[in-house]
């Protein structure tokens, strides 16, 4: 083809195919967009040092080894920094989680039907009257909600409902220090701080350093009326609570809070409190309010109440892993805005659609039967989540001594809508 000649239709299509990502999104019935960000140049004549990594779905270059080395170096520096902290004690609250690698599509129809019947029976026994709903916005909401973004307003409403539960438990007090586990940028803690007229203390615990954390952190610790502030950049697995100096004398009141603490991080948090309780009285520990989420990230080795699973509801480790996988069904109909969708979410949707495909094609180890409707899947996912949280509730009552503990539905704005609270 000469420079001035228009390309033929076949040549044009060939050019497009080279520049367009060939990863097929099943639920959208299309390829990814032109010049997919997961693709780099297709030129093979490169320096030997520039080793490429290839997409498993299509042989296009994804990233180069130099970037990976920088990322590894950065992670290593973060770990070294954590290990130098006085509150670091390796694996004190649990070992690195071993996640279940068997997808639901590899479980037979018979097994899925059997576990569904068990889930129905267990849920009815544990919650004969359903789960208590307590959806109330805190009185501080109106003064804090002066923002424009609807998405931020949604999260603010959820935080306000958690505050109402904290207050209901008698834990919203100015003389307390609030330890926010999985704090992220510290929005829940800042909401508590504002509700208490900026006269409380706060400790933020999270293993990641967020770009936006400075605004909330500075807003709290630079306030003259703030009684205490500290941010602990550490994985909860390694967090030794009793090594925090201000809590070591056991006279300072403190409360554990969290909004959407993911998977096994909730179990590590409960183990963190338990390990502290084993070594000394918890006179300063006043209570807890944790909104759980991402139950599909729970693991057998890290789950805090294995005896509940084995002895009370009679499930094996294998059945527990299936139950954990089923929790992902609870959010099947969750709507996402297009601008918030990432490639990882698209891949998850593809997997979910593959589970719903009815086909006569037979592949060893894969179950293509349409076992349950989407509505039934949602119901089972919801029940599986609540069963896991009930085991945690029993641990809080029996092992942490918070006999006045309960689970409550605190919001109707999210399917991750349950809080475990107690005092």
Q: Identify the pLDDT of residue 180.
A: 97
For residue 55, pLDDT beyond 60: no
Q: Identify the pLDDT of residue 59.
A: 47
Q: How confident is the model at residue 282 (pLDDT cuts 50, 70, 90)?
A: confident
Average pLDDT, the chain: 82
Q: Identify the pLDDT of residue 90.
A: 94
Q: Identify the pLDDT of residue 371.
A: 86
Segment 214-226 mean pLDDT: 87
Q: How confident is the model at residue 296 (pLDDT cuts 50, 70, 90)?
A: very high
Q: How far is CA 101 from the centre of its chain?
A: 18
Segment 226-238 mean pLDDT: 95
For residue 341, pLDDT beyond 50: no
Look at 43-47, 90-94, 316-320 and tell me which has the smallest mean pLDDT. Answer: 43-47
Look at 64-68, 84-88, 253-257 and tell me which has the smallest mean pLDDT. Answer: 64-68
Nearest CA-CA partner of 155 in 334, 418, 414, 337: 414
Please state, in angstroms and as integers, the Cα–Cα distance from residue 23 to each residue in 53, 344, 402, 414, following that order: 16, 12, 51, 31
Segment 73-85 mean pLDDT: 80
Q: Do strands 24-25 and 30-31 pair parallel, antiparallel, or not at all (unpaired)?
A: antiparallel
More confident residue, 289 or 49: 289
Q: Identify the pLDDT of residue 152.
A: 79
Q: What's the sign of the alpha-carbon dihedral 299, 303, 306, 310?
A: negative
How many CB atoms lie under 10 A from the CB of residue 340? 8
Segment 268-291 mean pLDDT: 92
Contacts 24+ apart (CB under 8 A), 400-408: 400/270, 400/273, 400/274, 400/277, 400/282, 400/288, 401/277, 401/282, 402/287, 402/288, 404/169, 405/288, 406/132, 407/131, 407/132, 408/131, 408/132, 408/133, 408/134, 408/165
What is the spatial distance between Cα 409 and Cα 26, in angstroms, rounded to a whole number?
34
Look at 137-141, 164-168, 357-361 and tell me which has the smallest mean pLDDT. Answer: 357-361
Q: Identify the pLDDT of residue 71.
A: 72
For residue 178, pLDDT beyond 70: yes
Please name the helix (run of DSSP H) or strand (run of DSSP E) that holds residue 218, with its range, or none.
Answer: helix 213-221
Segment 373-377 mean pLDDT: 93
State both tokens at 304: 């805090």
Q: Identify the pLDDT of residue 65.
A: 58
Q: Identify the pLDDT of residue 287.
A: 96
Helix (H, G, I), strand (E, B) or coil at 409: strand
Q: Identify the pLDDT of residue 41.
A: 42
> Tell me: the pLDDT tens digits for 379-411?
999 999 999 999 999 999 999 999 999 999 999
* Domain assignments of the chain as residue spans, ordered by start: 9-63, 104-355+362-422
């Amino acid at each position: 083809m000469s420079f001035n000649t228009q390309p033929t239709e076949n040549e044009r299509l060939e050019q497009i195919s080279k520049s367009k990502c060939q990863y097929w999104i099943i639920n959208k019935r299309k390829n990814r967009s032109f010049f997919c960000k997961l693709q780099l140049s297709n030129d093979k004549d490169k320096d030997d040092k520039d080793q490429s990594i290839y997409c498993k779905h299509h042989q296009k270059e994804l990233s180069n080894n130099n970037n990976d080395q920088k990322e590894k170096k950065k992670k290593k520096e973060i770990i070294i920094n954590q290990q130098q902290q006085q509150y670091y004690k390796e694996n004190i609250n649990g070992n690195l989680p071993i996640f279940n690698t068997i997808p639901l599509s590899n479980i037979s129809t018979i097994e899925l039907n059997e576990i569904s019947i068990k889930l129905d029976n267990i849920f009815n026994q544990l919650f004969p009257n359903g789960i208590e709903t307590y959806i109330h916005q805190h009185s501080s909401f109106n003064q804090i909600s002066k923002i424009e973004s609807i998405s931020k307003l949604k999260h603010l409403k959820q935080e306000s409902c958690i505050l109402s539960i904290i207050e209901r438990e008698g834990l919203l007090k100015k003389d307390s220090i609030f330890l926010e586990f999985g704090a992220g940028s510290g929005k829940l803690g800042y909401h508590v701080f504002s509700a208490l007229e900026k006269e409380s203390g706060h400790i933020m615990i999270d293993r990641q350093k967020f770009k936006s954390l400075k605004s909330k952190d500075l807003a709290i610790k630079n306030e003259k009326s703030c009684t205490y502030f500290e941010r602990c950049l550490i994985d909860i697995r390694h967090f030794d609570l009793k090594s925090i100096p201000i809590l070591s004398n056991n006279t300072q009141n403190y409360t554990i809070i969290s909004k959407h603490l993911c998977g096994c991080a909730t179990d590590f948090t409960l183990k963190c409190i338990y390990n502290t309780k084993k070594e000394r009285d918890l006179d300063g520990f006043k209570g807890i309010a944790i909104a759980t989420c991402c139950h599909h990230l729970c693991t057998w080795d890290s789950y805090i109440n294995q005896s509940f699973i084995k002895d009370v509801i009679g499930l094996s480790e294998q059945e527990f892993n299936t139950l954990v996988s089923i929790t992902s069904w609870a959010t099947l109909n969750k709507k996402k805005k297009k601008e918030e969708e990432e490639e990882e979410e698209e891949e998850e949707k593809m997997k979910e659609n593959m589970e719903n495909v009815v086909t006569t094609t037979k592949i060893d180890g894969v179950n293509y039967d349409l076992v349950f409707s989407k509505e039934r899947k949602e119901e089972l996912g919801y029940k599986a989540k609540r069963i896991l949280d009930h085991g945690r509730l029993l641990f809080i009552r029996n092992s942490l001594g918070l006999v006045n503990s309960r689970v409550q539905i605190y919001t109707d704005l999210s399917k991750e809508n349950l809080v475990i609270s107690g005092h």
